[in-house]
Amino acid sequence: MINLFFAQVVQGAGLVPCGGPGEVACTSCHLFLMIQNLLRYAMQLGVVVAVISLVLLGLSYMIKGDAGKVVLIKRIKSLAIGIFLVMGAWAIINTVIVIVSPVDGIFNNWYIIECGGGLMNIK
């Protein structure tokens, strides 16, 4: 879990792997790469926060008396619904894009962006 928070430091790259010493020059593709990196980090952080919240809510449920359990059950349900909505939305978008795009098209792995030679390669 420590690697989640320090993933960019461990990999030796910043938000955008360009413009630094020994790196390629920045292009417009690197803007999309930065957005992809930010979204990926936010999703990973969201999963960690959701798991920690679920554990803390479960502990509170075990410790509290009968009075607070109704509120905790509502919070646990809300957390589960939120996780389901986020994962379901991604699965629906991925399924639609894969079904609509050709078998060997560039959109089969639409969520991976690589910048090479100044061009944006969706891989």
pLDDT at 9 over 50: no
CA 119 to chain centre: 24
**Tell me, what's the pLDDT at 52?**
92
CB atoms within 10 A of CB 98: 14
Q: The tokens 């630094």 sit on which residue?
A: 20
Q: What 3-state class would DSSP assign to 16?
A: coil
pLDDT digits (tens, 9 = 90+) for 63-91: 887 777 888 889 889 988 988 998 899 89
Mean residue pLDDT of the chain comes to: 77
In whole angstroms, give the CA distance from residue 108 to residue 97.
Answer: 7
Predicted confidence (pLDDT) per residue in 92-122, tens digit: 988 888 888 777 766 667 777 777 654 455 5
Domain range summary for the chain, segments of one domain joined by +: 28-122
